[in-house]
Amino acid sequence: MNNGKMEHSLDATNLADILERVLDKGIVIAGDVTISLVGVELLNIKLRLLIASVDKAMEMGINWWAHDPYLTAGAQAPVGVDPAMLERMDRLEAALAKALASNQTTPAEGQSS
């Protein structure tokens, strides 16, 4: 008998327990929003949200923050960046800058100086 008294369950799950479970297991929230007008799709938003602890994310192979120079001090270029490709890009950028500079100093065709 409870004699009209209110009883509370000792097994009640509190917010901290729920948060610990979500971060330990991870949770994915996915959704699509489409805005159409007269059958014409104007906007399509695809939402994919993953909530997990850093350890769980790394276990799943997600570690984009490890190479982001804005988030990690001393972050280096991702593995697999070819130094020859970087050198070639530098040469192309220098050639483009030179071509643009010479194009600005000469009068355009059809114009008299």
DSSP string, 15-73: HHHHHHHHHHH-EEEEEEEEEEETTEEEEEEEEEEEE--HHHHHHTT--GGGG-TTTST
* Domain membership flag for residue 55: yes
Token pair recorded at residue 4: 């009209």
Written as tens digits, the pLDDT of the chain (113 aa) is: 556 666 655 555 688 888 888 888 888 888 999 999 998 999 999 998 888 888 888 888 888 777 777 777 665 655 677 888 889 999 999 999 999 988 876 555 555 54
* Domain membership flag for residue 90: no
Contact 51, 23 (CB under 8 A): yes
The predicted structure's pLDDT at residue 3: 65
* Domain membership flag for residue 24: yes
| Range of the structural domain that residue 58 is part of | 10-72
Report how many domains make up the chain.
1
Give the Cα separation of 61 and 30 in Å (integer): 19
* Domain membership flag for residue 5: no
* Domain membership flag for residue 48: yes
How far separated are the first and last CA of the chain, in Å rounded?
Answer: 106
